[in-house]
Copies of this chain bind each other. A is one copy, B any other.
Amino acid sequence: MMKYNTGSGDLTNWIVEEAAFTPKFQGKCEAIFCQGNGYMGVRCATEESYTNQVRNTFVAGTFNKFDEYDVTELPNAADVTALDIWIDGDLFSLDKGSFTNYSRTLNLKTGEVVRSFEWTNRAGKTFAFAFRRFMSLADLHTMALHVSITPLNESAQIEIQSGINGQVSNSGAQHFHEGEKRIFDKQHLQMLQQTTQSKITFVHNATHSVVAGNETVGSRFAMDRRKVYMIYKADVQASQTLTLEKISNVYTTRDLTHEHLSLDELRSASIADLIASAGRGYNALLAESVAAWAGFWQQTDISINSQRDFDQLAIRFAMYHLRIMTPAHDSRMGVGAKGLSGEGYKGHSFWDTEIFLLPYFTYTFPEIGRSLLEYRYKTLGGAHKKALENGYKGAMYPWESAWMDDGEVTPVWGAADIVTGKSTKIWSGFIEQHITSDVAFGVWQYYQITGDEDFMERYGYEILLDTGIFWASRLEWNDERQRYHINEVIGPDEYKEHVDNDAFTNYTAYWCIENAISYYQKLKAEKPAVFARLNEKLSLDVEIPVLEERLAKLYLPQPTAEGVIPQDDTYLGKQIIDLSKYKAQEHVGSIFHDYSLDQVNQIQVSKQASVVMLMYLLEHKFGPEIKRANYNYYEPKTLHDSSLSLSTHAVLANDLGDTTLAYELFRRASEIDLGPGMKTSDHGVHAASLGGIWQIVVCGFGGVRMVGGKLRITPSLPEQIDAIQYPIYWQGNRLNVSVSKQDVSIVNETKKSAITLIVKDNEYTFTDELTVHL
């Protein structure tokens, strides 16, 4: 059971609480209480173990491929979070005996998780337990755990086994060699494990300090297969406290910061770091991390004055996760669709990054936005490989992306088909091609918002040109229509496979080619050195005329008489069925209990926003009537079976003036992970949805939009929200935007200027002055 109003005083709307523990719902808080720092992410599995628990530790970018049949994935690294606690010889578990005052809190401000309860065992002895842990934001390699156990009414023997456990796997797939185990000075544990295919060595270290009353508790150490651990045993008197402090760190040979070290040097350095950290102790290490978090929140915090406090918590929750999932420290790495919070989607990056996450970073932490786009630049090798394999030119980005040169890593087989009983083939890796436009869009948007010419010259222009070249090569001539088609694709609506002329794909491809042509012209005219280099590399003078010829003849699906743009060539002719049963379901994908994917393909039902998404991204291309017509047509046919769907609909509803609906969609989007539904986040948090929450607040209610290279701020608050305040960066200027129902104030903190706009008749009036002044 989740509780959202636990924080008070300074911590009001900063605390997420799990106020009751139910093992069947443990996946929820494992994922949403995930801790990390972008370097690593550790799922918040409880220290004691339960059946069906998922205990994950991921280090960003350390991809490994289990075998030739599998795709590469982020391996689940050796665990240091599990403790076996034996009370009077019985393994402690909340399933046994009874407990009261259970509370587990995630403090979004500090990144610390605290869990406490009183537990009475079957012999009637009661104990107070408290667990605290964090992954440091100040030292990306370090995590710390603090446990205290106090027998309240009778003395007890307490034994704790704690160490480094490499028996974990990714649902059975083992990515590591067993490796070498070592205990230094009878207390400092070390385990080295190399990944089987990518040959990345992980160095894990852990050390403990265990005290009962005022006395150090005696220990033994032991090794088992893939395990090295300590055993502490003490007789603890009633009202005495046993405390265990466990400091751990992890380094890998993929770390940029340690590339210059040999493995032996890395082992020694990491053990030295461990001993130094342990010397400072849990509270001092926490203070360093909290200071780093304070810097983060100072730059990013948003205030929402809502009738529902949850909204304030939800936006902070979203930004907390956006930070811990993102490898800001290393531009060779992308963001996984589940961040680092679960095995779902294997740590791969999707279009989620550019379309859902990137706007947050571009507007708030431009340097992180840049890093994520540099990652795409560094994966161009894989994109070229994919294009060549498919008979195309240029950069054809992989639908799922992992390490730099991996290319396409989408798995080929998925869940069971209801009709055939076979695994369903996943076609996205072959034919979901709009990802290439999405990446280009992210680059262009970043450039427009930041004006980062250095980025563009080094990386950005090349991506824009190379993706344009891909699209031109991808087109297929249709004799009948005398137009270029894009056949046999999947658009954003993945419930329609093998369609021709998916509107989203065709329109964004058009945009992409058009953009490439225009930057070609600009570079040629304005930046001869850059042009020369790229012309040499990409044969622009040969390729761009082709783009020009094809662009003019690229087919763009046109609105029907009712203003509806056909999602693809056949969608509007398909069967319409009653979808209310599936729209009402708590679990996504329920339509597959009744229909196979082939059957769903024949119905006017969509997984998520597709035409609607197009109208959000290229909003200047479509007027309000067209937007409304399409929204009204497609939304009822959309099951929102993707977490990417709600935020887009929310922003569009807000754009269309339906703030009531927008707020309702915001509410639903903000509850996907954080809400009271206890089964939604088992495989990890929904990264894109969290980015979408930020977009609803800032781009939807807050009205921020980059249109044609200009900043437009047209806020529109729903009834439930009285005011919001958010920071954004625009062209290097930090703006603090305050929106209330009375006025909008924009303070340019960089230039120390400010403007205020007054609301009239519930409509904000803007002048060009805004953009001029900025």
* A interface with B by C-beta (< 8 Å): 23-24, 49-52, 66-67, 69-70, 84, 89-91, 93, 95-96, 166-174, 177-178, 180-186, 196, 220-226, 228, 415-416, 421-423, 593
Contacts and interface: CB of A to CB of B under 8 A. Distances in A.
B52 A51 contact: no
Contacts of A24: 89-91
Contact of A423 (B91, B167, B174, B181): B181
A72 B157 CA distance: 41
B225 A171 contact: yes
Contacts of A166: 172
A174 B171 contact: no
Contact of A173 (B178, B185, B423): B178
A698 B413 CA distance: 58
A67 B177 contact: yes
Given A67-B196, A593-B220, A226 B172 contact: yes
A172 B225 contact: yes
A251 to B, nearest CB: 20
Contacts of A168: 172
Nearest to A67: B177
Copies in the complex: 2
22 contacts: A23-B91, A24-B91, A49-B51, A51-B51, A52-B91, A66-B178, A67-B177, A69-B177, A70-B177, A70-B178, A95-B95, A95-B96, A167-B169, A171-B225, A172-B178, A172-B225, A173-B178, A173-B226, A180-B423, A181-B423, A186-B421, A221-B416
Contacts of A50: 51
Nearest to A22: B90
A520 to B, nearest CB: 45
Given A24-B89, A49-B51, A95-B96, 18 more contacts: A50-B51, A51-B91, A52-B91, A67-B196, A166-B172, A170-B225, A171-B225, A172-B174, A172-B225, A173-B174, A173-B225, A174-B174, A180-B423, A183-B416, A221-B416, A221-B421, A223-B423, A228-B416
B222 A415 contact: yes
A171 B593 contact: no
Contact of A181 (B170, B178, B180, B416): B416
Nearest to A84: B52
B91 A415 contact: no
Contacts of A184: 421
A222 B424 CA distance: 12
A183 to B, nearest CB: 3
A93 B94 CA distance: 12
Contacts of A222: 415-416
A220 B225 CA distance: 38
A184 B96 CA distance: 41
Contacts of A49: 51-52
Contacts of A177: 67, 69-70
A69 B415 CA distance: 34
A137 B179 CA distance: 40
Nearest to A82: B51
Q: Which 4 A-B pairs have the closest CB atoms?
A: A183-B421, A167-B172, A95-B95, A174-B174
A70 B178 CA distance: 8
Given A416-B183, A423-B180, A171 B51 contact: no
Contacts of A96: 95
Nearest to A50: B51
Nearest to A91: B24
A188 to B, nearest CB: 9
Contact of A415 (B70, B93, B169, B223): B223
A124 to B, nearest CB: 15
B171 A226 contact: yes
Contacts of A186: 421
Given A51-B50, A181-B423, A421-B183, A171 B91 contact: no
Nearest to A222: B416
A20 to B, nearest CB: 13
Given A69-B177, A177-B69, A416-B183, A93 B91 contact: no
A421 B182 contact: yes
A121 to B, nearest CB: 12
Contacts of A170: 225
Max chain B C-beta neighbours (<10 A), residue from A89, A166, A181, A416: A416
Contacts of A52: 49, 84, 91
A676 B177 CA distance: 38
A51 B181 contact: no
